[in-house]
Amino acid sequence: MAKINKLRETWKTRTGIILAVAGSAVGLGNFLRFPVQAAQNGGGAFMIPYFISFLLLGIPLMWIEWTAGRFGGGFGHGTAPGIFQSMWQKNRFIKYFGVIGIFGPVLIFMYYTYVESWLLGYAFFSITGRYAQATTQPAMQSFLQGYQGLQTNEYFHGIGWAYLFFIITFSLNVFVIYYGIRRGIEKLCNWAMPILLICGIILAVRVLSLGIPNLLRPDWNLVNGLGFLWNPNFAALKSAKVWLAAAGQIFFTLSVGIGVILTYASYLTKKDDVALSGLTAAATNEFAEVILGASIVIPAAFVFFGPREIVNIAQSGAFNLGFVTMPLIFQRIPLGAIFAFLWFTLLFLAGVTSSVSLAQPVISFLEDEFDITRKKSATIFGVVTFILCQPAIFFLGKGVLNELDFWGGTFCLVLFATVETIVFAWIFGIDRAWKEIHHGADIVIPKFYKFIIKYITPLFLLFILGFWIVKEGLPMIAMKNVTSEQYPYVLFIRGLMLIIFIVLAMSVAYAWKKRKILIRKEK
């Protein structure tokens, strides 16, 4: 059990924490999900609610999580249960809402690491030319499904290759978290984030220098490709779906509502700035998403496949976009294998800086509440999550990945953000919160954000939560889209998720019981 006032690890530099938080935020969604969402929801019109959501939802939640995390860290807590309890000490039940901030990252880690490993595999395949014979969309689709083990074909027989790269990727994640905040996560992000951004800039410049590959179709050009993404269709603004999609993208892209930033910020000292640092981390993520993410995928696909096919490509989803369309594009340009390698390296680095952040809440919980050493915590986490990752690998295509993504990457995310905003602005108190944000701050936040954090952000979140539950949540919970073949697998994964949540809740109850005993002894 953690000793009261136990000395906790801290970040070595401000740059380190900013890059770590940005690394958690910059993930596959920046380069795959964002262009798809923008293309499907009105192009340039999507960017209007997107930036409004960024200002009213993203930035406030960033400041809330940075501030709440630093505050809870001062009481020796690095995860949401303890942080919530430190902000609302009179309520003994609020810590159980914080369980969501550990539960969600675990669920995401269970499938995200496997998807992340595909990128490492494809980086290797791009250099070795393993998919060079797949020169059409059906062929490349077949290559992907063979790699995933969804079919046996001339490219793969079983998931041997996929499992090998999963082992390597999983081991890398555990290796990083084993060495802690300074020597592990901070060191990784200090070199991974600059390399990621350099790869992104090189790819963006290459795409923006594309000529007209099809002389018979000169309208398939870069300007029209950028226009497809940026020219606004203002009629789309009347659709609630577009606004919800934009708000959802902000959640995904900034990693808010997961509990990761709370944990990262808990390793700050009381004098460390959270106002400018939080804003800088958010701005870094937006650069990666809006400038780089929007300049690579959709414009390149438009130039080579044209306006009709680009719609089908956008609607086919992020996986097909990243693993089918982009490799085909790189096959058609000089030195394509090198650019393909840069593309998958970029995505892999974005993935690994995000996945190590997903591991940190569990590690912090074991360290802070049970006084387990970092190395033992990392070992426990590695063993348990390795087992938990197996359903996403062997039951891929059976609805398991969608279930994990729904509960961990959508439902928990929106619910947790709503709870933490209400606790911060209304229970902790906006005046006290405003003072806490500015303690050690290098900037003065405009005062109208005090009103936004107290009223606009929670109302925005409650609207999103309510509308989303009615439109998407209830059908998903009722398994309306689950086939008879998927039914037993979905029931299995729901049962497993319930067990995980109960174990975490019981662990919180046990930790606080032991804490009370320790406090009595110290008195």
Every domain of the chain and the residues it spans: 14-522
Residue 1 reports pLDDT greater than 50: no
Which residues lie closer than 8 Å to 467 by C-beta, 6 or more apart? 240, 244
DSSP string, 212-250: -S-TT-TTSSHHHHHHHHHSB-GGGGG-HHHHHHHHHHH
Architecture of domain 14-522: Orthogonal Bundle (1.10)
Average pLDDT of the residues in 38-44: 75
Q: How many CB atoms lie within 10 A of CB 120?
A: 21
Q: What is the pTM of this model?
A: 0.92
pLDDT score for 514: 86
357, two tokens: 């952040």
What span, in angstroms and rounded, lies between the C-alpha atoms of 123 and 114? 15
pLDDT score for 214: 62
What span, in angstroms and rounded, lies between the C-alpha atoms of 451 and 425? 10
Q: How many CB atoms lie within 10 A of CB 238?
A: 10
Tens of pLDDT, residues 381-415: 999 999 999 999 999 989 899 899 889 888 888 88
Residue identified by tokens 């039914």 is 487
The pLDDT mean for the chain works out to 89
Contact 267, 9 (CB under 8 A): yes
Tens of pLDDT, residues 76-113: 899 999 999 999 988 889 999 999 999 999 999 999 99
pLDDT score for 148: 93
Tens of pLDDT, residues 336-391: 999 999 999 999 999 999 999 999 999 999 999 999 999 999 999 999 999 999 99
Residue 523 reports pLDDT greater than 70: no
What span, in angstroms and rounded, lies between the C-alpha atoms of 444 and 448? 11
- HEC profile for 427-486? HCCHHHHHHHHCCCCCCCCCCHHHHHHHHHHHHHHHHHHHHHHHHHHHHHHCCCCCCCCC
Average pLDDT of the residues in 293-306: 84
